[in-house]
Amino acid sequence: MSREKLKSLAENISQVIIGKKEVTELLLTALLAKGHCLIDDVPGVGKTKLANSLARSLGIEFKRIQFTPDLQPADITGIYFYNQKDGVFQFRPGPVFTNILLADEVNRAVPRTQSSLLEAMEEQQVSIEGTVFPLAGPFLVIATQNPLELEGTFPLPEAQLDRFLMKIEMGYPTVAEEVEILDRFKQRDPLQDLHPVLDGELITALQEEAAKAHLTKDLMEYIARLAQATRDNPHLRLGLSPRGSLALMRASLAYAYLQGREFVLPDDIKYLFPYVAGHRLILEYGSEYVEDSKGALIEEILAQVPVPTEDVLHG
């Protein structure tokens, strides 16, 4: 029954986001894995619309921050202010105190402001002037960013990138999909008609169920060997960290559950590896690979590491 709700969630989103089943599945995988998602692509392909569609489909609190160069950390986390009426300092929570936070065009803010999300994303809490404020669950950050070659962008630091479970791209629609978009949006934005199909309590229950999917020791070793292969690769200055390995495991469990299985397959790990590892791998200076060809390097690494056999999986 719970999994049927996930199908309803995907169908709800598809009323607005046309032809992006794979992207929607990856976003739902991040939600089930209690991970944050970075959506990277050029303006106008539906990044913000996708995040809004997910938020409206879930009966939980949603807030959006438009990142700009003049945005300050306190604009995100909140501030203490002096209440003249009561004669005391009070804390005014910022928009990070929510269930789903859309950090729109996150790389238009300066690095100091970007880093104000680190504690919230990693520890689900915010520290202000020595006081720790926990964030209510479920908590998911969906950040959108524009390609770095666009004017007015600041690259996300490695520590910030490492907090995102995965990075995905929307891509342009096909001609047929674009015609359907034009037709569907001609009279009215279908986003306005979306209604919640899940609540916070059910989301938490689904996250707990997904984490119970079966993952053999051999597949854990496969994940570790993939991570080691990135650390040993001469073209990479920074390989996959243990946090990245944990992210790949959590994503694989969630994806298997989303596909209706109680167990993880090697193909789940291979499929998710580029999305989980790609933004964490930093190319060596002078490497023959560039950012645009990093995908080819990732495929090489996948080809180098032996995949556990079916006999081993069931042995």
Considering only residues 83 and 100, tell me which one the structure prediction assigns the higher pLDDT. Answer: 100
CA 249 to chain centre: 15
Q: pLDDT by residue (tens digit) across 230-279? A: 999 998 988 999 999 999 999 999 999 999 999 999 999 999 999 999 99
- Binned at pLDDT 50, 70 and 90, residue 111 comes out as confident
CB-based contact 46:191 (threshold 8 Å): no
Q: pLDDT by residue (tens digit) across 6-61? A: 888 888 888 888 888 899 999 999 999 999 999 987 777 788 888 888 888 888 88
Give me the pLDDT at residue 225, please.
97
DSSP secondary structure letter of residue 263: B
Considering only residues 137 and 245, tell me which one the structure prediction assigns the higher pLDDT. Answer: 245
Query: Residue length, the chain?
Result: 315
Helix ranges restricted to H, the chain: 2-14, 21-32, 47-57, 74-77, 111-114, 118-123, 158-161, 175-184, 200-210, 217-232, 242-258, 266-277, 294-304, 310-314
Predicted model pTM: 0.89
Mean pLDDT of the chain: 88
Give me the pLDDT at residue 315, please.
46
| Three-state DSSP state, 107 | helix
- What is the Cα–Cα distance from 234 to 277, expressed in whole angstroms? 16
Would you list the domain boundaries of the chain? 2-208, 211-307
Q: pLDDT by residue (tens digit) across 1-17? A: 467 778 888 888 888 88
The H or E element containing residue 284 is none
Which CATH number is associated with domain 2-208? Answer: 3.40.50.300
Give me the pLDDT at residue 37, please.
94
- What percentage of the chain exceeds 70 in pLDDT? 96
Pull the structure tokens for residue 45: 């392909």
- What percentage of the chain exceeds 90 in pLDDT? 49
The yes-or-no answer to whether 2-208 and 211-307 have a common fold is: no
Give me the pLDDT at residue 312, please.
45
| Three-state DSSP state, 278 | coil
Question: Quick one: average pLDDT of 166-183?
Answer: 90
Question: Quick one: average pLDDT of 164-184?
Answer: 90
Least confident of 121-125, 142-146, 161-165, 227-231: 142-146
Which CATH number is associated with domain 211-307? Answer: 1.10.8.80
Give me the pLDDT at residue 278, please.
92
